[in-house]
Amino acid sequence: MDRKFQKATLEKYADLVRDSIKKQIKEKKLYATGNLYRSVSEHLFESTNELGFDIKAANYFTQVDRGRPKGRFVSNSKIKKWLLAKNITSEFYPQKSIDEFSALISKTIKEKGTIKRFGYKGAGILDEIIGNFSSDFFDEMIESFADDMDLTVAELLKDVQIIKTTI
């Protein structure tokens, strides 16, 4: 079966999801170094039994989206890089060096998780996107499947000739 309409629908939604993730990274002020933003990409795949798309992003996207549960330290060097990229200093601890400040943040993450402004639960980007697109996506995929089936049936029947006979 030709999957022309299904592929077009998947391409459309892969682009929408990718663009929505990137938009939310900026809107939710999760853009520090730009690495996460630039890492978001889509990939369509097809085999005999499968047709779909993946959204790929830097390995820490899950932590940004879902949050990092309390109980583990985060690397001070990664926090320091983030602080420097965002040009963040502590107004509460002005006497602390960047290394001391990053250690303090790491300790807080271990005790509470990430991200404070999202209630230590993460940004919830994927949940929002699924809520925005899932209904339309499924409706359009069903319609595109039906359109592909119509094409397949038409192709199968194009050389069929109906002969009328009377007895």
Domain locations in the chain? 1-68+119-152, 69-113
**pTM of the entire structure?**
0.76
Q: CA-based angle 21:26:28, to the nearest 5? A: 90
Q: Which residues contact 76 (CB under 8 A, 6 or more apart)?
A: 99, 102, 103, 106
pLDDT grade for 52, boundaries at 50, 70 and 90? very high
| Residue 93: per-residue pLDDT | 66
Per-residue confidence (pLDDT) for residue 2, from 0 to 100: 84
